[in-house]
Amino acid sequence: MSLDPYSLCPCESGKKLKFCCSDIASDMVKALQLHEGGQSKAALKILQKIYATNPARAWVATSLAGVYLYLEDAASARETLQPLLHESPDHQLARILEATAALDMDGYEKARSVIHRAFTKGVKYHPEMIGSMAAGIASTLYEEEKLVSARQHLAFAMRFVRDEDRQQVFMRLLDFDGDQGVPYPLRGVHNLRPLTTLSAEEDKVFRKSVGLSALGCWHEAAAVASQLTEAHPENAELWYDIGLYQAWDGDQEQAAVSLHKAASLSEDFEFATSSETLAQLFDLEASQTSEVVRHYAVDSLSKVLTQFDEIPRLHRDDRLVGGENSPGEISYTILDRDPTSIADQENPDLTKLPVVIGVLVCTDKDEAQNSTALCHMVVENEHVEEMQKLIQDSLGNPLENHSVHALEDITFSQWADYRGLYRQYYFDKQTPARLRAVIGKKNWENILAELWPNRPLSGLDGKTPLEASQISELSYKLAAAINVLDAFADRYNYQIDIPALREKYSLPSQESFPVADEQELSACDVLQMLRIPIETLTDDQAAILLNRTQLIQHAGFTEKVLAEVLRREDVVELERMPQIWHAYIDLARDKYDREEALNRIEQAKAWAEKSGQKFEESLQWEMRQLQFLVIDPQDDSLIPFLEQMHRKYLRKLPELEEAITAYLEEHDITPPWNTRGSILVAGSSASSISQEMWPAETPQESTGSKLWIPGQD
């Protein structure tokens, strides 16, 4: 490594090296070569020696601070930079390094002012470092569940990171927008509203806030924009923009206040509803309640597991908690009562079904780390005392305040207002899939018809939805509460008919959101997207909307878009159409509507025949139809279907015939090609893929099957 004496000096003075820092150049080059060669501690000694006599020299101070940061000594890095920053407070690299150290030491909240100073000073000269820092901040904010702020920092980082890192940041953005664990109104872009009633001087103030926002300084942008509220205290759009700035900054509590204000002032019902929806979601995110965790030391894990297996309210799960890499972890589902079989019931009473109230995870001791075996219980607050007694009777005294890495991916937090609204029922292996679907559907029907309408909600000022429907001043809040309910249901892939609910509660019908061009189609927020009149779009626009819709995965809107795309047929390329049909069928499944799913499969088969699909591609629809038919072994169409499937496909594919035979036997169905025209049903058990046919009873848990279906991932 050598430096051209006529190149710009690394100290960023703007002078040539020969006329600036040439006196220390050889020692600096030696130190930096050592650092780049992996000998950072040796480099540190050289830099410390130079720094002792030149603490305010930029090249020395920034290099030494950089090595300290590499060695994870943020405190020394920050201290090293102070003499330089005292003499040169606007030194760009020093400000960025100081912000990096402050973020590591204090976290984003306390380091915000230092970070934002670095953004403003350094983005022009070191954009890649600013982009990298913003991407790191996004990860921290996501872990703190400051979701909108996390996404905005990613979007900010996208503009400045290195070209080779941009794709990775973009993929993180896509992952966020497709994360169904995040309420859908909080995903995607959110846009500032234009302010049209400002004077020329006031417009300058607002444009200053927009400029600060473009630099990632949303706290300062909110402060500047707030100056305008003195002259415009009832400007709904202004309060909305302030609320967005605050949300982007991570201050969701204050953002909720501003967005509530915007909603209360707006005469535009849809805008008021959207603003109030965001505000209510921020309030709910802040109100989340976590369940009680208990930790127990175990002398003999095998003995304890034997005891647990004898407790009816503990059901051992087949799956391993930590996956294949954690064979020492066993989990139990905790029930609120002893389980009873409902396999022979046609219309079970939901109030008598066992409900999942927690999980018990047992980890074996690690001989290498000399650790003891442990059991970790996470259970709903209402049941903690009785379950603790039950567990302690088997284990003895609990071991409290233990650091538990095994439970990092297990969470039972709930929105306070929605606590206990959705119940996860327990089914034994004998419960047929048909009955699971009946219970799943009844569960949501009960939520929509009885539980939610009569539940006091903080977003409705403590009123129930039924009470709020009689108070006109609460109409926009009630419309927002319906959106929140939809976001809650969407986590379980369940569709809610928002227009029907609005009509039920005497609210205005939803206004459509027409889009003028592709840019507007991609840039609108999610709540606006859901109001786009799909039938008015061109094929090109429909294709763009389809891509965005499949990313956001809002079930109700996705179904509308897919139906329109399938009706037109020419919106996407032929190779993609099977995927669209599969998704369309899955949406019927998620609604527990077996008949509609079978109807859509027939439509897909007709399309496949018309479009000249190959043998293998046509077979996939038969396989999907089989999935739904075996749910009800008494279905009159099952025998003819199996005979036709065997005649047309299976006799030509012996290996597939063997797999299908095994699959049918798992469902206690004797294949007609073995019995020649008769089909025997031994009971109504539906295991394997039938059990997985309907949505899982936990939010966003993926479904699977033992039988591979062509066309599925």
CATH number of the domain at 555, please: 1.25.40
Last residue of a domain, one of 398, 418, 438: 418
Tell me whether residue 424 is in a domain. Answer: no
Using a cut of 0.85, tell me whether the model's pTM lies above it: yes
Side chain identity at residue 528, one-letter code: Q
Q: Looking up tokens 């279906």, which residue turns up? A: 709
pLDDT at 503 over 90: yes
For residue 516, what pLDDT is reported?
84
Whole-Å CA distances, 432 to 283, 370, 429, 660: 40, 45, 8, 19
Tell me whether residue 408 is in a domain. Answer: yes
Tell me whether residue 2 is in a domain. Answer: no
Tell me whether residue 570 is in a domain. Answer: yes
Burial 566-591 (b: 16+ CB within 10 A, else e): beeeebbeeeebbebbbbbbbbbbbb
Q: Which residue has the higher pLDDT, 192 or 14?
A: 192
Residues 299 and 278 in one domain: no
CA distance 410 to 406: 8
Residues 236 and 312 in one domain: no
CA distance 387 to 377: 9
DSSP string, 410-473: ----B-GGGTTTS--B---TTS-HHHHHHHHHHHHHHIIIIIGGGS--GGGTT--HHHHTT-GG
Residues 324 and 469 in one domain: no
What is the average pLDDT across 111-139?
A: 95
For residue 604, what pLDDT is reported?
94
Residues 529 and 625 in one domain: yes
Task: Kindly report, residue by residue over 300-311, the tens digit of the pLDDT.
Answer: 888 888 889 999
For residue 277, what pLDDT is reported?
98
Q: Among 2-16, 248-262, 301-315, 615-629, which stretch is predicted with the lowest mean pLDDT? A: 2-16
When computed from its CA atoms, the radius of gyration of the chain, rounded to whole angstroms, is 31
Q: Among 348-362, 609-623, 628-642, which stretch is predicted with the lowest mean pLDDT? A: 609-623
Pairing between strand 373-379 and 314-316? Answer: unpaired
Average pLDDT, the chain: 86
Beta strands in 208-350 (DSSP E): 292-298, 314-316, 329-335
Q: Are 598 and 625 in contact (CB under 8 A)?
A: yes
* 386 DSSP 8-state letter: H
pLDDT at 283 over 90: yes
Burial 188-213 (b: 16+ CB within 10 A, else e): bbbebbebeebeeebeeebeebeebb
Residues 487 and 401 in one domain: no
Closest CA to 481 of 260, 330, 644: 260
Residues 615 and 630 in one domain: yes
Instruction: Give the total number of structural domains in the chain.
Output: 5
Residues 162 and 213 in one domain: no
Tell me whether residue 397 is in a domain. Answer: yes
pLDDT at 267 over 60: yes
Q: Within 13 Å, how many C-alpha atoms sit on residue 694's CB side?
A: 23
CA distance 544 to 520: 11
Tell me whether residue 310 is in a domain. Answer: yes
Domain with 465, as residue range(s), is 452-505
Percent of all residues in the chain with a pLDDT value above 90, rounded to a whole number: 58
Closest CA to 684 of 628, 636, 633, 627: 633
**Torsional sign, CA 27, 29, 35, 37:** negative
CA distance 3 to 1: 7
Sorted by sequence, the CB contacts under 8 Å of residue 416 that are 6+ apart come out as 284, 287, 288, 289, 458
Residues 653 and 551 in one domain: yes
Residues 386 and 322 in one domain: yes
Residues 118 and 23 in one domain: yes
What is the average pLDDT across 554-571?
A: 94
Last residue of a domain, one of 186, 212, 234: 186
Closest CA to 488 of 440, 583, 555, 438: 555
Strand partners, 356: 335
Residues 579 and 646 in one domain: yes
Confidence of residue 412 (pLDDT cuts 50, 70, 90): low
Whole-Å CA distances, 361 to 322, 370, 413, 511: 10, 19, 17, 49
CA distance 611 to 305: 56
How many CB atoms within 10 Å of residue 498? 19
Q: Which residue has the higher pLDDT, 306 or 21?
A: 306
Tell me whether residue 711 is in a domain. Answer: no
Residues 179 and 35 in one domain: yes
Task: Kindly report, residue by residue over 154-211, the tens digit of the pLDDT.
Answer: 999 999 999 999 999 999 999 999 998 899 999 999 999 999 999 999 999 999 999 9
Tell me how long the chain is.
713
Tell me whether residue 444 is in a domain. Answer: no
Per residue, what are the HEC states of 203-244? HHHHHHHHHHHHCCCHHHHHHHHHHHHCCCCCCHHHHHHHHH
Measured in whole angstroms, how far is the alpha carbon of residue 540 from the centre of its chain?
Answer: 28
